[in-house]
Structure 1
Amino acid sequence: MDAIDYAWYDQGRYCNYWELDRTLRRELERVSPEGEFEWAEPRLQEFGGVVGETVADNADHADKHGPTLHTYDREGNVQNYVEYPATLEETERLAYEAGVVADAFEAPPEREEPLSHTHYFGMLYLLSYAETSGFVCPAAMTAGAAHVLELFDDGDLDPYYEALTSRDHDSLIEGAMFLTEKQGGSDVGANETVAEYDEESDCWRLTGEKWFCSNIDAEGTLALARTPDAPAGTDGLSMFLVPHGDPDGGVLTNRKRNEFDGNPPPEALNDQRYRRLKDKLGTTNVPTGEVEFDGTKAHLVGQQEQGFKQMAEMLNLERLSNATGACGIIGRALLESKIHAANREAFGQPIGEFPLMKADLVDMAVDHEAATAFTFEAARYFSEREQARRDGETAETTNRMMRLLTPVAKLRTARMAIDTASYAMEIRGGDGYVEEYVTERLLRDAQVLPIWEGTENVLSLDVLRALDREAAHEPFAVVVQDHLDSVEHPSLADAAETVESEYHDLLGAMADLAGRDEEYAQLKAKRLAHYIFDVFAGALLLAQAQRELDEGNGRLALVARRFVANELESRDARGITDGERFAVEQFDAIVRFAPVSPDELAESGNQLLQTCCRVNRLGLLRL
């Protein structure tokens, strides 16, 4: 496959994101169940074009003309009407009817079984190239609500599940999660919303306040509340589905909403009040607001006092959706930077020809590769666990790996998305800071990613729980060692040795923290989470590089070596004196996806080896 000439493009739209993102294509082919990638690729190809051609423009318009809340009608009655721009409605129709949610839950046309969740994450990734966190949030919550009903509903809520997973936009409803309360935040157990059963109406009624409610007028909203006599803390919480419409009237699908003359009248709506929308830094095209429940009708999901467990299951999917969206933002920011660097001239040549810019683009590309590989490996474990569950089987080892990798993926990729989007603004210069260019929106939208679905501190503590309660370090150690054992090519030997050394140090750190007091373990939890990412991503990239070398391409070997050098190696004088010219010499391979023969890689490896001998990198490479 030829190298990509980014000078051919003048901006990162009016193009096909699927065709341009060879990293995503490689990862989906790697993690998809046998035969699925070949079947799904034409759908991904088509969707990549739709996102690049239409959704990208719609997203910019919706960002500037976002939803508007009209809480009251002209008579002063609560109507909870959210007015959306037509461009956002078009994006919704295009995405949902392309199967962004439905494909993972219901068999697409001409197929007997649903596609895997890895396909869902791939579609969401492509959508994130244009919609970043705005519409991706409702789509992810729709998938999350469907996931909860699939796992825990006994059939009573089938009409809601069918509407959440519909590929017909008129028959669709969207999902939402009203979990955050003003006094609680991440302390979910401090939830004060109460639920009481109304015998006369034969339904549950919720009373309380939810403080940060995205996709506020969704019909498939999930909320946590405490039933009478339930214990305090998370053990006493139950999960409820709280419709936008009066549940006595059935599921309020898009078609039903449109059948009214204007917005649905107050008598067609559930008893709640959307108080106001938040004025947010980014994600302005998803309505996020405050909701008051006042005897609001609700359906119990599953059993009472199981709400926190159900929420945890939903968070696994949502956190991976967050990480997938972060990788999409990184990909779009990188694409914009590559195109600008190939076209913008300064001092008589494109700025992409200058050594410093080459180094920046190389390292941005390597970060993108690492983030995407790690995230889709975590997504693979999630997908395989869900397939096993659908088949009535258990997948304990897979579950333990998913539990460890998921919070790490969300934690690291969210921060990487912010850093990459910020630097993409800098590459464009002053134009990158103004609204006419997409980079400022990428940064505004990326900034929410470390907050949604758990902050970095919350996720770091979740990593400790996965290690302590589920002994996730045991399968983790086996998987990393298997990756390293698969590496045979001489050009990867030094990087593999570095990763193996760090891997053993990481296992030692895990064992050390297991013997420490809780305060100390929490103090070091964030460093541990990042260490897990670096070691696992390094081993994973090396194993993938070996497979590509076996197929005759050494490009990913260069990526793996650069990632290990950046994240796991120590260098004298911070590498300033080591004579290394990697970014200049390997720019076309890393940034433009130019193929690299194994013979070329061996030659570059010998040159690197000679450099390492001269500078003696603190003994990390035992020469």
Structure 2
Amino acid sequence: MDEGIDYAEFSDGRDVNYWTLDRTLRREVRRVYTDDEFTWAESRLADFGGTVGHTIAANADDIDDHGPELEPYDRDGEVQNLVRYPERQYENERLAYGRGIVADAFEAPPGRDEPMGLAHNLAMQCLLSYADPGFDCPVAMTAGAALVLEKFGGDEHALFYEALTSREYGGLIEGAMFLTEKQGGSDVGANETRAEWDDGAGCWRLFGEKWFCSNIDAEGTLALARTADAPDGTAGLSMFLVPHADPDRSGQDGPLTKGQRLEDGPLSPESVNDQLYRRLKDKLGTISVPTGEVEFTGAKAFLVGEAENGFRQMAEMLNLERLSNAAASCGIIGRVLLESKIYAANREAFGETIDRYPLMRADLVDMAVTHEAATTYVFEAARLLSERERAERAGETADDAYRLMRLLIPIAKARTARMAVETASYGMEIHGGNGYVNDFVTNRLLRDAQVLPIWEGTENVLSLDVLRALEREEAHEPLRDAIEKRLDGVSHPALADTAETVEAEFRDLETALVTLAGEDAEYAQLSAKRLAHYVFDVFTAALLLENAQRELEAGNGRPALVAQRFVSTELEAREARGITSGDRFALEAYDPIVRYEPIDPDRVREITAE
């Protein structure tokens, strides 16, 4: 069993290996990967965690001060749509894509006969987000675009798919997803961008504007548009692949790659696809990804899949994008927690390091439990996504996995995004005035975290999606089975009281689900957010108990303490807010939870009984 971590040995959360220090992520990866996947991936994740902790993290701080800049026109007033990036951004891209952060999940990497599960892509995104959640946005959209083309693409998209999944930076393109329009926002069905067939050129052309376009100059963008005579609403939307450069006028068969763009410089006027990048948004955070406004003025585009099926196809991308958002939240929470542990172990006040004081110990315990809960939930959803994709690639089905993940994924994104904002905010407070200024990373992490509740759907939108999953997929059935299975496996005496609480809350959750099924739509919507939080709390508690049971059998008591703290915080009603209880849990459990100090299962029983 690993020894505890002495965070006083570090000066800050850079120049470290995030994979080595995040034992929670390591445990979850081991749990959700197949045996052969983990055997292949372990050393590569360790290598990537070191690269992110040293080079990418240092570059990210600099990029935040010197972000991308847009030059829409050349000196002669011709449209060139040029985004200039700092050199360190190119280095980060080479390091991440070159290590297979996207490619490994789609094409068999060296040393394997088949691709890795999508959980591997999400684990690498989590590690990347320790350093730069902004850069994780184009990484996530590149994977999402590849997934869409894998499922729905044809021969005309093959070269784009190959470039999206390239391990060679010179042959790589990035993906993007342009959904939002000024008049519609979250109401995608209100989109007005139109697609017209050009008989002379033998292609589709797009007209309209997209209002919030992240990774604006991606070489392979997916956009929704409405063809002539298509019905209103989402049912009338088709999906199109929009190249950065016009493939015909640029004189090449496939997309313009990263390597070609770096070598050749700005597009010539005749190579520009008929679109204008009007301006970049002056954003609070995620500076490393350029977000702007795009005006389609007849841009050449390729129809993806069936016409008027675009929104359903985009939903496949959204599943991965929302989990990517949640993985980024886990990375931010993990980085803030690491920075806070290190700072508290080194900062002296009133003659002691501040990690010796009871209030700080309680705060760090709760931050660690938040990290544990978020990571455990997200990677269970990732496991289901991998299971479903693995089955589809084999020509099989995984209906229960799909139905459950449809419920869990919007909840994962909604809940962990809020956790990331709250954790990052408190991480700034731990650092005092230093945390508020640009010289310290907690400032940037809070700014970056604040977009996570907005990207890929707000919490209200996601909560309504939870209702749809329950109604259309009858997702309550696999949810019930998954929770019951885990609670039935809990037998250790140290978990008895905690399991009893979760069992009671599970029955109440079932009652809530039945009640909403019989209520009118207005009341169901009014309760949707509370229901999403309730599902997260009960399902996460069951996952934590399952893990605690397994680890107790192996002699590791730490996960049992984590489960107990999560349940007492999120599910128990405590008399007088717990003040009269005499509870000293945070003090007794500090070293095991915060420092990963080994603890004997018998000692766990003593702490939980106190």
2:588 and 2:607 in contact (8 A); partners too? no
* Structure 1 position 231 matched with structure 2 position 235: no
Partner amino acid for 2:21?
Answer: L
1:252 is matched with which residue?
Answer: 256
CA distance in 1, matches of 2:150, 2:542: 35
In angstroms, what is the RMSD of aligned CA positions? 0.7
Cα drift, residue 603 of structure 1: 2.4
Partner of 1:210: 210
Q: Aligned runs of 1:93-492 on 2, under 5 Å?
A: 93-132=94-133, 134-248=134-248, 249=252, 250-260=254-264, 262-492=265-495
Deviation of 1:200 after TM superposition, in Å, equals 1.0
CA deviations 1:398-439 (Å, max 9, x no partner) are: 000100000000000000000000000000000000000000
SS in 2 for 1:222: strand
How many equivalent residue pairs? 605
Q: Distance in 2 between matches of 1:263 and 1:453?
A: 31
Question: What's the secondary structure of 2:123's corresponding residue?
Answer: helix
> How far apart in 1 are the matches of 2:357 and 2:464?
43
Among 597, 600, 606, the residue aligned to 2:600: 597
Aligned-residue offset at 1:258: 2.7
Displacement, 1:255?
A: 2.0
Runs of 4 or more above 4 Å deviation: none
The equivalent of 1:616 in structure 2 is: none
- Taking the aligned partners of 2:607 and 2:81, their CA distance within structure 1 comes to 63
* Amino acid in the other structure paired with 1:251: P
Q: For the Cα contact (< 8 Å) 2:40–2:111, is it kept in 1?
A: no
Segments of structure 1 that go 5 or more residues without pairing to the other structure are: 609-623
Return the letter of the residue paired with 1:148: V
Equivalent position amino acid for 1:283 in 2? T
What corresponds to 1:611 in structure 2?
none
- Give how far 1:604 is off: 2.3
Deviations 1:327-350 (A, max 9, x none): 000000000000000000001110
Shift of residue 109, structure 1, vs aligned partner: 1.1
CA distance, structure 1, for counterparts of residue 362 and residue 125 of structure 2: 29
**SS at the partner of 1:157?**
helix
C-alpha distance in structure 1 between counterparts of 2:155 and 2:63, whole Å: 37
Q: 2:71, 2:607 → 1: CA distance?
A: 63
Name the CA distance, whole Å, in 1 between partners of 2:90 and 2:483.
Answer: 45
Tell me how far apart the structure 2 counterparts of residues 275 and 263 of structure 1 sit (CA, whole Å): 16
**Cα distance between partner residues in 1 of 2:260 and 2:272:** 12
Q: Which residue of 1 aligns with 2:4?
A: 3
Deviation of the 1:593 alpha carbon: 0.3
Structure 2 spans left out of the alignment, 5+ residues: none
Partner of 2:48: 47
Q: Specify the SS of the correspondent of 1:279.
A: coil
Please give the residue correspondences for 1:579-598 in structure 2 after superposition, counting only pairs within 5 Å.
Answer: 579-598=582-601
TM-score when scaled to structure 2? 0.99
Distance 1:59 1:258 in 2: 20
- Structure 1 position 112, deviation (Å): 1.1
Asked if the contact 2:585–2:607 (Cα under 8 Å) also holds between the matched residues in 1, the reply is: no
Structure 2 CA distance, aligned partners of 1:207 and 1:604?
A: 65
Amino acid at match of 1:131: D
Q: Structure 1 CA distance, aligned partners of 2:325 and 2:534?
A: 20
Deviation at residue 39 of structure 1 after TM alignment: 1.2
8 A Cα contact 2:159 2:255, kept in partner: yes
Distance, in Å, in 1 between the alignment partners of 2:437 and 2:108 is 43
Q: Give CA deviations for 1:204-225 in whole Å, capped at 9, x if unaligned.
A: 0000000000000111100000
Structure 1 partner of 2:34:
33
1:86 match = 87
Amino acid at match of 2:551: E
SS of the residue 2:112 aligns to: coil
Give 2:258's aligned amino acid: N
Equivalent-residue separation in structure 2 for 1:470 and 1:302 (angstroms)? 23
